[in-house]
Structure 1
């Protein structure tokens, strides 16, 4: 469980609900027609903009926001250094027997074992990275689109409410309540955009950046192993991917690690 995501969502929701209850009657903030306009309009516009498969993939990926991020660049560097040791000790062909949960790393090891050229390895792995970025950004774009549409439909609901209110100006007692109802749709749209859709898109973007960095470490480590670089050179090449204060000394790199990659 990602504690930061859970804490952020629950604390934000609690503060908003608390402010509503402190300010008065919570029933004033419930308006079914306004919800229909905002939720229904946002959903319809999103389906009109992107493919249905992207929408379903986006909602499946939303749970990642609240899952623990197990990706670790230092562990990935440790893994590549261990693979470098294996290749120097037992030969490149021995990497074909490496067991890992990472399909990307497994494919990199197979490319090395098959004596592929450096250009082929670089192109193949980079194509995989680019394809993953496209898939992930398509998912993030769904939430960005919804964050854009929700306030727009909130404003549309407000205009509808104002039109209905202005048509009954002969009864001044109804103007205040009608205005409050008209503004509720703007509230719904802003709440969905700033509390749900934009934070989810932002967290997924950050997760993608971390995962891409791990894949780049695998790519560069694979090229170093294929070039038969010295163990220390592999370390220097890969350690540049993490901040200097977080780098472990070369003498502390022992043992292999199993890598798990979340997929969208």
Structure 2
């Protein structure tokens, strides 16, 4: 589990609380139900209106993943594929059927089962690439939904402020009440900005990043199992897959060569 989203959101709201406390204001002045209901309720509503009900359901199902952020390290994927290559060279491709029964990843399970069934390599590549593309499109739907809410929330906050200021103008005959009423009116704008920049936009960006990592993992598996099917040597396969990982941090730093000392010239 990668708690980056939880840590970031907690620190962001904690900074707001710290600012309010340091300025001597009351936190209860910001926790006004009416503007919060408008901002959160209307933002979710227009988010649903901007797409389909299916898009909304996909986004809701993806929300827990944004906070858990569970991803498999590329090194683990490579070790797993190299192990499959070693078993395929020792026991043949039919042994991949037993490996398919032992793995939990549906993508890898289908790939290994197709190898055991004798599926042509080109056909298997097309099948796996289509599955990766479908997964990427599905993830983009969820990320786009939350990013769209991040765009709507500030404007909805302004709408709430305008509505509240209209109510303020109706009470100009009560000067003693104008200050608190104007302050309350701007709470809607505050929550629009906070929800957009502290919640919706980070969640959308987080889902996009997790999708990128998942596509990279699936691509490694695809190239790996296709190489296993082709009979690649396990060690070379591992080196090839590691070369596909950008900035993996697994490569050892190159040794610095010492410069040779120039020869000492003899005096004439």
Question: TM-score scaled to structure 1, two decimals?
Answer: 0.86
- The match for 2:37 is 36
Distance in 1 between residues matched to 2:32 and 2:181, nearest whole Å: 11
1:133-189 CA-partner distances (Å, limit 9, x unpaired): 111111111111111111110011111122222343344434322221221101011
Q: How far apart are residue 109 of structure 1 and its match?
A: 0.7
Q: How far apart are residue 93 of structure 1 and its match?
A: 1.2
Tell me the secondary structure at the aligned position of residue 231 of structure 2. coil
- The match for 1:151 is 154
- The match for 1:60 is 61
- The match for 2:136 is 133
Q: How far apart are residue 128 of structure 1 and its match?
A: 0.5
Quick check: 1:183 aligned with 2:190?
no
Distance in 1 between residues matched to 2:65 and 2:37, nearest whole Å: 28
Bigger Rg, structure 1 or 2: 2
1:13-36 CA-partner distances (Å, limit 9, x unpaired): 222122223331223213232122
Whether contact under 8 Å (1:2, 1:65) holds in the other structure is: no
Q: Which runs of 5+ in 2 are unaligned?
A: 253-268
Q: Which runs of 5+ in 1 are unaligned?
A: 249-264
- The match for 2:28 is 27
Distance in 2 between residues matched to 1:228 and 1:42, nearest whole Å: 54
- How many positions carry a matched residue from both structures? 248
- The match for 1:10 is 10
Whether contact under 8 Å (1:213, 1:241) holds in the other structure is: no
Distance in 2 between residues matched to 1:87 and 1:116, nearest whole Å: 15
2:203 to 200, 203, 208: 200
Question: TM-score scaled to structure 2, two decimals?
Answer: 0.85
1:98-148 CA-partner distances (Å, limit 9, x unpaired): 010111111111111122112101100001001111111111111111111
Distance in 2 between residues matched to 1:74 and 1:83, nearest whole Å: 14
Q: How far apart are residue 57 of structure 1 and its match?
A: 3.1
Whether contact under 8 Å (2:146, 2:203) holds in the other structure is: yes
Against the structure 1 CA distance between its residues 18 and 236, is the aligned structure 2 distance closer, same or farther, given a 3 Å change threshold?
same
TM alignment of 1:221-240, pairs within 5 A: 221-240=224-243
Distance in 1 between residues matched to 2:214 and 2:76, nearest whole Å: 13
Quick check: 1:168 aligned with 2:168?
no
Q: How far apart are residue 68 of structure 1 and its match?
A: 5.5
Distance in 1 between residues matched to 2:239 and 2:17, nearest whole Å: 51
Quick check: 1:88 aligned with 2:89?
yes
Distance in 1 between residues matched to 2:46 and 2:69, nearest whole Å: 32
User: Does 1 or 2 have the higher relative contact order (CA < 8 Å, sep 6+)?
Assistant: 1
Distance in 2 between residues matched to 1:17 and 1:10, nearest whole Å: 10
CA-based RMSD of the aligned residues comes to 1.9
